[in-house]
Structure 1
Amino acid sequence: MFAATFLLSLGGGYLLFNRPAAASAQATAAPAQTTQETHPDTAHNEAPAEETGTTTTAAAPAASAEIFTKRGCVACHSVSALDVQGGVTGPDLSRAYLNVADKHGVPVEDFLKKPTSAVMSSVLGANPLTDEERAQVLSALQAASGK
Structure 2
Amino acid sequence: MNKHIITFVVSLFLGFAIGALGFNLVGATDEKASETAADPGKTESASKEGADAAKTEQATATASGEDTIFQKKGCLSCHSISKLDLAGGATGPDLSQAYVNVEGKHGKPINEFLKQPTSAVMSGVIGGNPLTDEEINEVVEMLKQASEK
Runs of 4+ in structure 1 over 2 Å off: 2-9, 16-24
Displacement of 1:12 in angstroms is: 1.6
Gaps of 5+ in 1: 30-36, 38-61
Identity %: 50
The question of whether the paired residues in 2 share the 8 Å contact of 1:13 and 1:75 is answered with no
The question of whether the paired residues in 2 share the 8 Å contact of 1:96 and 1:145 is answered with yes
For the pair shown, the structure with the greater C-alpha radius of gyration is 2
The question of whether the paired residues in 2 share the 8 Å contact of 1:17 and 1:73 is answered with no
Match of 1:12 in 2: 17
Displacement of 1:132 in angstroms is: 1.6
How many corresponding residue pairs? 116
Letter in 2 for 1:15: A
The question of whether the paired residues in 1 share the 8 Å contact of 2:80 and 2:93 is answered with yes
Q: Distance in 1 between matches of 2:141 and 2:18?
A: 24
Q: Distance in 2 between matches of 1:78 and 1:133?
A: 18
Gaps of 5+ in 2: 38-54, 56-62
Q: Deviation string for 1:22-75 (max 9, x for gaps)? A: 749x5xx9xxxxxxx9xxxxxxxxxxxxxxxxxxxxxxxx68x71111110011
Displacement of 1:15 in angstroms is: 1.8
Match of 1:96 in 2: 98
- Tell me: CA distance 1:74–1:12, structure 2 relative to 1, closer, same or farther (3 Å): same
Q: Aligned Cα RMSD in Å?
A: 3.3
Normalised by the length of structure 2, the TM-score is 0.64
Normalised by the length of structure 1, the TM-score is 0.65
Letter in 1 for 2:138: Q
Letter in 2 for 1:9: L
Match of 2:81 in 1: 79
